[in-house]
């Protein structure tokens, strides 16, 4: 009997991507993966439910895939992820097209749910909330052969007033170090040379299991894996970046001198309303210390504009901070008023047009900063992880570039370069976010 075919659409963050890769690992046991949803008997949509725009994207995708049940081969439409966890009853009631719905802790029910639906044609749903479970298991990597994300914990204890994640994903819980290292070894054996550590807050890794922060120790263990060349850190909260972590990043040759440090704002009054633990003075001290200790540090951050009550003076304080600090990479997000979060009930919600204007102002400012930083790279040589070709040129990333969120380096070479290889590239031209160069030795 021919195997049924399945396809997956993964929306949202890189942590969601890992869940999708785990889902593929489970489904691969019984079914055949296809990239074209027109060929799929089973379609799974892994949703995001973080902010309004992502919720709308998830709903639109579900409805689009529901049409495949009418027009193509699809027999089963499965919805998983944060949206299904957050709006379980509403989705089941309003979207009869969904056949199986699973929450973020229920991927273990995937195969049995499909078999039961095929047998009885009854809708199924599982969405248990958990403060203890962590989805683990065999994954199928979807980020190319050389790069993989590695989740080191689940959930969050930070309770920022704008964020719904703790109510969806539960309390912070670290994976065992030996399990993380074992997974990294498997990834390395399959050709991965760059691992990207992710969590809601990577800096708190180990605090629950080991009663102390263990991120530096984890990094040291991972750097012992010979095949791993780059270790990248995302989502390091500024107030939890310790001297030990800074020293480990500075001294360990395998750790990319790149830190994603989401600060969200810099005004102490806004930070207090956000229930962020850090203060402006601490954030600046942390940045100064990191730049002093870590040579060629690339610092990325994310900013929220239009938080309830954000005054002109608070926004101008933020703008001046961005101008002064000159982050290498910066993302700006308009505040989204999310139900069931404390901030959604705050007075003085900011009008959409003001949020859009503030977002535009910061992004224009950052474009100028980024262009100047990139112009200073002309003539310098960077190790570049080769990821493919575009428009007749090779394309890859340096240590300063995380996948999808940062720029890329386009370069030429007279001979063939293998995907997954790290090669030296001399920069010859700079754009706002991308760079152009040429391989820096005669034989590639």
pLDDT digits (tens, 9 = 90+) for 141-156: 999 889 999 999 999 9
Specify the pLDDT at position 441: 74
Specify the pLDDT at position 132: 76
Q: How far is CA 379 from CA 97, 376, 439, in A?
A: 56, 8, 12
Q: Which residues contact 109 (CB under 8 A, 6 or more apart)?
A: 102, 126
CATH numbers and ranges of domains, the chain: 5-126 (3.40.50.12160), 147-375 (3.80.30.20), 381-439 (2.40.50.140)
Does 295 score more than 60 pLDDT?
A: yes
Report yes or no: 173 and 153 within 8 Å, Cβ to Cβ.
yes
Give the chain's mean pLDDT. 92
**Share of residues in the chain with pLDDT > 90 (%):** 75
pLDDT digits (tens, 9 = 90+) for 233-285: 999 998 899 999 999 999 999 999 999 999 999 999 999 999 998 899 999 99
Q: What's the CA gap between 145 and 143, in Å, rounded?
A: 7
Does 400 score more than 60 pLDDT?
A: yes
Q: Which two tokens stand for residue 399?
A: 């240590």
More confident residue, 136 or 251: 251
Does 30 score more than 70 pLDDT?
A: yes
Report yes or no: 422 and 382 within 8 Å, Cβ to Cβ.
no
Q: Which two tokens stand for residue 63?
A: 């409805």
Specify the pLDDT at position 314: 98
* Nearest Cα residue to 158 out of 276, 239, 262: 276
* Whole-angstrom Cα Rg for the chain: 23
Specify the pLDDT at position 443: 45
9 phi, psi to nearest 5 deg: -115, 120
Does 444 score more than 60 pLDDT?
A: no
What is the mean pLDDT of the segment spanning 426-434? 91
Specify the pLDDT at position 442: 55
What is the mean pLDDT of the segment spanning 123-138? 83
pTM here? Answer: 0.92
Confidence of residue 1 (pLDDT cuts 50, 70, 90): low
What is the mean pLDDT of the segment spanning 105-115? 91
């Amino acid at each position: 009997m021919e195997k049924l075919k399945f396809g997956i659409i993964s929306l949202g963050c890189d942590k969601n991507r890992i869940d999708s890769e785990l889902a593929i690992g489970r489904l691969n046991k019984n079914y055949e993966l296809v990239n074209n949803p027109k060929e799929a008997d089973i379609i799974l949509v892994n949703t995001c439910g973080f902010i309004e725009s992502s919720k709308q994207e998830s709903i639109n995708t579900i409805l689009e895939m529901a049409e495949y049940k009418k027009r193509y081969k699809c027999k089963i439409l499965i919805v998983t992820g944060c949206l299904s966890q957050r709006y379980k009853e509403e989705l089941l009631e309003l979207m009869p097209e969904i056949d199986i719905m699973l929450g973020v802790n229920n991927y273990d029910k995937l195969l049995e749910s499909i078999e039961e639906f095929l047998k009885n044609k009854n809708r199924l749903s599982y969405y248990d909330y958990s403060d203890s479970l962590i989805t683990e298991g065999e994954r199928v990597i979807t980020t190319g052969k050389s790069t993989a994300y590695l989740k080191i914990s689940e959930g969050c204890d930070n309770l920022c007033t704008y964020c719904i994640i703790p109510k969806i994903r539960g309390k912070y819980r670290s994976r065992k170090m030996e399990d993380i290292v074992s997974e990294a070894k498997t990834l390395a054996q399959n050709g991965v040379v760059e691992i990207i550590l992710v969590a809601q807050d990577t800096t708190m890794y180990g605090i629950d299991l080991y009663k102390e922060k263990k991120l530096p120790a984890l990094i040291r263990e991972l750097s012992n894996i010979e095949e791993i060349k780059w270790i990248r850190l995302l989502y390091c909260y500024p107030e939890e970046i310790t001297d030990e972590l800074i020293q480990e990043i500075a001294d360990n040759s395998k750790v990319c001198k790149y830190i994603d440090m989401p600060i969200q704002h810099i005004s102490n009054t806004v930070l207090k309303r956000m229930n962020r633990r850090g203060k402006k003075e601490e954030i600046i001290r942390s940045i100064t210390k990191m730049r002093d200790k870590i040579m060629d540090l690339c610092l990325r951050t994310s900013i929220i504009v239009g938080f309830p009550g954000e005054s002109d003076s608070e926004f101008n304080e933020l703008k001046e901070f961005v101008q002064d600090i000159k982050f290498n990479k910066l993302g700006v997000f308009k505040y989204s008023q999310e139900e069931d979060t404390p901030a959604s009930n705050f007075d003085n919600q900011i009008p959409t047009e003001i949020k859009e204007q503030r977002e535009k102002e910061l992004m224009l400012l950052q474009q100028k900063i980024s262009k100047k930083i990139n112009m200073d790279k002309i003539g310098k040589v960077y190790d570049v992880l080769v990821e493919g070709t575009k428009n007749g040129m090779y394309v890859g990333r340096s240590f300063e570039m995380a996948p999808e969120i940062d720029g890329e380096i386009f370069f030429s070479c007279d001979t063939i370069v293998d995907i997954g290889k790290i090669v030296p590239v001399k920069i010859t031209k700079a754009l706002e976010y991308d760079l152009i160069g040429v391989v820096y030795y005669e034989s590639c």
